[in-house]
Structure 1
Amino acid sequence: MNETPRDPEHPTGHGPYDDTSAYDLGPQPTWAPDDETATQQVVPPAYAAAPAAPPARGRKGFAAAVVAASLVVGGAAGLGGAATWSALEDDGAGTGSPSGVQTSQVVDTPVSDAEPGSVQQVAETVLPSVVRIDVSSGQEGGSGSGIVLSSDGQILTNEHVIAAAGEGADITVSFDDGSRATATVLGADPLTDTAVIQAEGVEGLTPATIGSSEDLRVGQEVVAIGSPFGLDATVTSGIVSALDRPVGVASDASGDATIYPAIQTDAAINPGNSGGPLVDTNGHVVGINSSIRTSGSTSGASGGSIGLGFSIPIDEVLPIVEQMAAGETPTHARLGISVSDATAAEGQSGAEAVIGALVREVGEGSTAGDAGLEPGDVVVRVDDTMITGSDSLVATIRSYRPGDTVTLTFVRDGEEQSVDLELDTDAETS
């Protein structure tokens, strides 16, 4: 079965003091078909039931068959065919064939080197650094993709991929050369939907080259690689459709939500692509494919790609990935407030409504409280990033690190104000 990328929906509000949302996700995704079923879906039953083909005649036999078929068609043309041949012969344009019918040529296509920056060249560069991950525990399980970080088997993937079958599940990694290995979890972070696993007993792997998501531009060409529906080493291409798209996809037991400022792309991303790389035309990893927006299904099953895929920007999570790879507990920046969408506040309507994140509660001793924020304030900007709602604020704050200083702009009683503050951390203190 294949791990289904998350399907973001709309928020209904945020819990106290955690900068996170509770989400109405609608029907929970069901497992996509396993690899064998997926293969059967790709090959229509009519093809499977077709009678066996006669022995191959070889390339010359094929050419002869084409000529014979052409002659039959030409003969069936009757008087019209003869008249055409006569006209061509008079013009000196004949091919030398008695019937005057031209046939398809069978030629060898020479192999050419991939053009720099082409999808072909990117695929040749990146495929050795992409793996398939299968997770199973009893009757539960799923599959996804991963990115090789080190030659000795450290692999980056989505947290929801390795959590597919719960704690204690068996994890198997399949590599580009066809080899396989078991793996253990080094670290997992539900808030950013990232995880790092360690493949056992491997060496000489090809680590991916990590790029910069900050340098991306809307319209830029990108390539997604992974194992959708268990189809290993699948390459799709598209463009960056949008940047800093706030995407919220789930909440854990504590109410903390997975929210990130996503890279939106129209490169086809389907169940099983989760954890695989989104790369630029240099073959550098700029994102981790994580979720999709689908049109849904009347049967409750998760749909496929409709050109709305979302990737986690690599710049935002690389410090957390490094923490997990080192065996440390991931930490995140926070303001210490509870927020909701400002447009849902009472008394706001029409053009006079202030768009942003409405402060509902302020945690005692939080950085936001020390900076003077109060319930009823509407946060509209963090540094130069516009805040369009609660998800937008949470995603933006999580793109920073604890201890970073930001300029927070908010509206109080119709007046815009700004304050500089140092972001808190969610790290546990003893």
Structure 2
Amino acid sequence: MCAQPSPEHQRRGWRGPALATGAALGALALGLAGGVLGARLAADPDASEPVGSCDVAEVAPRVLPTIVTISATGAEAGTGSGAILTADGAVVTNDHVITPAVPDGRIEVILADGERLPAELVGRDPQTDLAVLDVEPGRALPAIELAGSDDVAIGEPVVALGAPLGLSSTVTAGIVSATGRSVTVPTGEGGTTVLTGAIQTDASINPGNSGGALVDCDGRLVGVNTAISTVPDSAGQPVGGSVGIGFAVPVGTVRAITDELIEHGRVAHPSFGMTVSELPASAAARFGVPPGLVVTAVTDGGAAQAAGLRVGDLITSLDGQDAPTDATLARVVVHAADGDEVEVEVLRDGRSRQVTMTLS
């Protein structure tokens, strides 16, 4: 795919409206391609390899055979990227990549060698923006190796692989800019979700890169490229491609969610059984209370009601984190299992009390 992408192709790859997240991040848009990171080279002319960068020429040929391009067609059409998880044809991608084909459309996976295969949707989880597909190639496929943990270091060199703007087998390289980000992004169906524990990278991630792989210098998957920050125009809409601020779902989340999808076809996230509203520090100071989450509704029979929470309670600590936010709740829900206990500190009528919530 060497032709210059058309403007129509670029628009098809741009999934959903951007969300403004403040002046520092500008507008966030889901990128439907897997970008790479700009290399940071140390000024050491005597070094045999550039310090702070991967040997991309060695990593790329090992990993590229595990990277696929995904075409999803239904009422709308879009393209994205994916990575082969198992030799028998399980492929991970972003949920928003395959949304155009849900429920009755067609999904096609294009292997690195150009072979096109029909794909079946195994399962999807909009909350973590991950999905698993299944293809039947009639032979063993090369599968990507997953890193053992989420322990990537800030400044660590990484390589991104995918199909930005439909340009299959695109490779870029750079660094991990930050870790543990909680980023609110659009979902493929028009809502929003929070990417918890996301890896921030200076990758050149563009529309079409979503679902592609972010790997370390050993070629092991450390994240799935999912979103980029873009600079909004005067109307607040995203303009252009990568500005060097991209986000990837970390491998720990990828492993947990894809295992559930492959085994059960779905992911059942536990619930707190309540609705909350953030009380930021600036507003909390006016009321003379700590920042946190104000309980605005409690579900009958839910975890919050069972723990004795009431509408109007101020949650000042959750799961060991003071001044919890919506992102704190999202992080706990993504990684918790049914029956897990969460310690909560609640301020009511000027008095603080500790409660234990059992998620269900």
Partner residue of 1:120?
57
Relative to the length of structure 1, the TM-score reads: 0.67
1:325 aligns with 2:262: yes
Alignment CA distance shift 1:162-1:237 (3 Å): same
Partner residue of 1:304?
241
1:246 to 159, 164, 182: 182
The structure where helix makes up a greater share of residues is 1
Aligned 8 A contact 1:5 1:290 in 2: no
Q: Aligned residues: percent identity?
A: 36
Alignment of 1:399-414 (within 5 A): 399-413=335-349
Aligned 8 A contact 1:184 1:197 in 2: yes
Partner residue of 1:289?
225
Relative to the length of structure 2, the TM-score reads: 0.79
Aligned 8 A contact 2:29 2:230 in 1: no
Partner residue of 2:157?
221
Please list the CA deviations of residues 276-335 of structure 1 after superposition, one character each: whole Å capped at 9, or x if unmatched: 112222322122111112113468565311122111123124333122223433210221
Aligned 8 A contact 2:28 2:230 in 1: no
Distance 2:81 2:32 in 1: 16
For structure 2, list consecutive stretches of 5 or more residues without a partner in the other structure.
Answer: 1-8, 34-47
Partner residue of 2:66?
129
Partner residue of 1:192?
128
Alignment CA distance shift 1:353-1:245 (3 Å): farther
Partner residue of 1:316?
253
Distance 1:31 1:279 in 2: 17
Stretch moving more, 182-191 or 162-171: 162-171
Alignment CA distance shift 1:130-1:351 (3 Å): farther
Aligned 8 A contact 1:5 1:272 in 2: no
Partner residue of 1:4?
14
Alignment of 1:251-262 (within 5 A): 257-261=192-196, 262=198
Distance 1:401 1:281 in 2: 33
Distance 1:233 1:180 in 2: 14
Partner residue of 1:341?
278
1:377 aligns with 2:317: no
Distance 2:29 2:168 in 1: 25
Alignment CA distance shift 1:380-1:4 (3 Å): farther
Distance 2:227 2:91 in 1: 19
Alignment CA distance shift 1:27-1:279 (3 Å): closer
1:273 aligns with 2:209: yes
Deviation at 1:256, TM superposition (A): 6.9
1:162 to 86, 98, 102: 98
Distance 1:280 1:314 in 2: 11
Letter in 1 for 2:258: V
Alignment CA distance shift 1:28-1:398 (3 Å): closer
Letter in 2 for 1:405: E
| SS of the residue 2:265 aligns to | coil
| SS of the residue 2:158 aligns to | strand
Aligned 8 A contact 1:130 1:226 in 2: yes
Letter in 2 for 1:239: I
Stretch moving more, 191-200 or 160-169: 160-169
Distance 1:137 1:226 in 2: 22
Letter in 2 for 1:163: T
> Whose radius of gyration is greater, 1 or 2?
1
| SS of the residue 1:374 aligns to | coil
| SS of the residue 2:355 aligns to | strand
Distance 2:186 2:251 in 1: 20
Aligned 8 A contact 2:93 2:224 in 1: yes
Letter in 2 for 1:181: L
Letter in 1 for 2:55: S
Aligned 8 A contact 1:357 1:393 in 2: no
Deviation at 1:338, TM superposition (A): 0.2
Distance 1:286 1:28 in 2: 21
Deviation at 1:190, TM superposition (A): 1.5
Deviation at 1:207, TM superposition (A): 0.9
Please list the CA deviations of residues 387-429 of structure 1 after superposition, one character each: whole Å capped at 9, or x if unmatched: 54223322333222222223233444555543333221xxxxx
Deviation at 1:9, TM superposition (A): 3.6
Alignment of 1:8-19 (within 5 A): 8-10=19-21
Alignment CA distance shift 1:385-1:27 (3 Å): closer
Aligned 8 A contact 1:410 1:418 in 2: yes
1:211 aligns with 2:147: yes
1:146 aligns with 2:82: yes
1:423 aligns with 2:359: yes
Aligned 8 A contact 2:31 2:227 in 1: no
Distance 1:266 1:331 in 2: 33
Alignment CA distance shift 1:237-1:401 (3 Å): farther
Deviation at 1:152, TM superposition (A): 1.9
Aligned 8 A contact 1:225 1:234 in 2: yes
The structure where strand makes up a greater share of residues is 2
Aligned 8 A contact 1:4 1:270 in 2: no
Please list the CA deviations of residues 226-259 of structure 1 after superposition, one character each: whole Å capped at 9, or x if unmatched: 1111111122223222323222223687x97422
For structure 1, list consecutive stretches of 5 or more residues without a partner in the other structure.
Answer: 12-24, 33-111, 425-430
Please list the CA deviations of residues 66-104 of structure 1 after superposition, one character each: whole Å capped at 9, or x if unmatched: xxxxxxxxxxxxxxxxxxxxxxxxxxxxxxxxxxxxxxx
Alignment RMSD? 3.5
Distance 2:28 2:357 in 1: 40
Stretch moving more, 193-202 or 242-251: 242-251
